[in-house]
Structure 1
Amino acid sequence: MNFKNQIEFLKELQKNNSKEWMDANRKWYKQVRDEYIFWLNSMNIRLSAIDDEYYDTPGKKGINRINNNLMFHPNKPVYKDHFGAGFDKKPKTADFYFELGIERCIFAGGLWRPESKVLRSVRDAIDYDGEDFVKILNKKSFKTRFGGLFEDAKLTNAPKGFAKDHKYIELLKNKTFAVFHEFDTKETIKSNFDDELVSAYKEMLPFRRYLNKAITV
Structure 2
Amino acid sequence: MLHTSTFEFLTDLSKNNNREWFQLNKKRFEVAKQEVETFVDELLSKMVLFDSSIGELKGKDCLMRIYRDVRFSKNKDPYKKNFGIVISSVGRNVNGPCYYLHIEPGQVFVAGGYWMPSADHLKAIRQEIDYNTNDFKKIIESKSFIKTFGQLSEEEKLKIAPTGYPKDHPEIELLKNKSFIASSRLDDSALTTASASETVVAIFKEILPLNIFLQQAISH
> One-letter code of the match for 2:169?
H
5 Å-filtered alignment, 1:97-136, equals 97-136=100-139
Structure 1 position 81, deviation (Å):
1.5
Trace 1:22-33 onto structure 2 (pairs within 5 A).
Answer: 22-33=22-33
What amino acid does structure 1 have at the position aligned with 2:211? R
Structure 1 window deviating more from structure 2 (99-108 vs 40-49): it is 40-49
Give the C-alpha shift of residue 89 in structure 1.
4.2
Counterparts of 1:58-207 in structure 2, within 5 Å, are 58-90=58-90, 91-207=94-210
State the 1:55 CA deviation: 5.4
- Percent of aligned pairs with the same amino acid: 33
Counterpart contact for 2:95–2:117, Cα < 8 Å = no
Structure-2 separation of matches of 1:103 and 1:96: 20
Query: Deviation above 6 Å: which 4+ runs of structure 1?
Result: none
Q: How far, CA to CA, are the matches of 1:56 and 1:143 in structure 2?
A: 31
Where in structure 1 are there 5+ consecutive unaligned residues?
A: none
Q: Structure 2 unaligned runs (5+)?
A: none
CA RMSD of aligned residues (A): 1.5
Structure 1 range deviating more: 101-110 or 81-90? 81-90
State the distance in 1 between where 2:56 and 2:161 align: 38
Aligned partners of 2:78 and 2:153: how far apart in 1? 27
Aligned residue type for 1:162: Y
Matched letter for residue 31 of structure 1: V
* Equivalent in the alignment of 1:17: 17
CA distance in 2, matches of 1:86, 1:140: 26
Q: Answer yes or no: is the 8 Å Cα contact 1:63–1:84 preserved in 2.
A: yes
d(CA) in 1 for partners of 2:66, 2:35: 15
After TM superposition, give the deviation of residue 40 of structure 1 in Å.
1.3
- TM-score w.r.t. the length of structure 1 is 0.94
Contact 2:190–2:199 under 8 Å retained in 1: no
Task: Name the count of aligned residue pairs.
Answer: 217
Ranked by relative contact order (alpha carbons within 8 Å, sequence separation 6 or more), the top structure is: 2
Check the 8 A contact 1:123/1:172 in 2, yes or no.
Answer: yes
